[in-house]
Structure 1
């Protein structure tokens, strides 16, 4: 499975000790749906039933948003 996510940031996020969880670990979002990017907020749980070989788009890149299958990604000139 793949997921189309729109990113708007143009630079890195600096992480430090304040970003650590109770287990002294820092979890970085890889699904693209976290509301606290670059940190994971558990939004990836919404992707648990995604099928291999299918590309998905979540409305507004929100794990609570409507999920739909897309056939191809179309990029428009800015």
Structure 2
């Protein structure tokens, strides 16, 4: 599975101890849907039923918003 995500930031985010969870770990968003980027907020749960080889677009990059299939990956792209 893949998804199109719009990024608006143009620089890095500095992380420190205040970003640590209760378990002392820092979780960085990899799905692109978190409202607290670059930190994970659990939004990736919306992607659990995405199919391999399909590209998805979440309207406004919102995990709670509408999800559309916008294409398929070629085997060479996977």
Under a length normalisation based on structure 1, what TM-score does the superposition of the two structures give?
A: 0.90
Equivalent-residue separation in structure 2 for 1:3 and 1:9 (angstroms): 18
Shift of 1:71: 2.0
Equivalent-residue separation in structure 1 for 2:57 and 2:67 (angstroms): 6
Equivalent-residue separation in structure 1 for 2:66 and 2:49 (angstroms): 14
Where 1:14 maps in the other structure, the secondary structure is coil
Which string of whole-angstrom CA distances, capped at 9 and with x for unpartnered residues, describes residues 29-60 of structure 1?
00000000000000000000000000000000
RMSD across aligned C-alpha pairs, in angstroms? 0.9
Unaligned runs of 5+ in 2: 73-78
Unaligned runs of 5+ in 1: 73-78
Listed as ranges, the matches of 1:1-78 within 5 Å are 1-71=1-71
Work out the number of aligned pairs and report it.
Answer: 72
Under a length normalisation based on structure 2, what TM-score does the superposition of the two structures give?
A: 0.90
Runs of 4+ in structure 1 off by over 4 angstroms are none
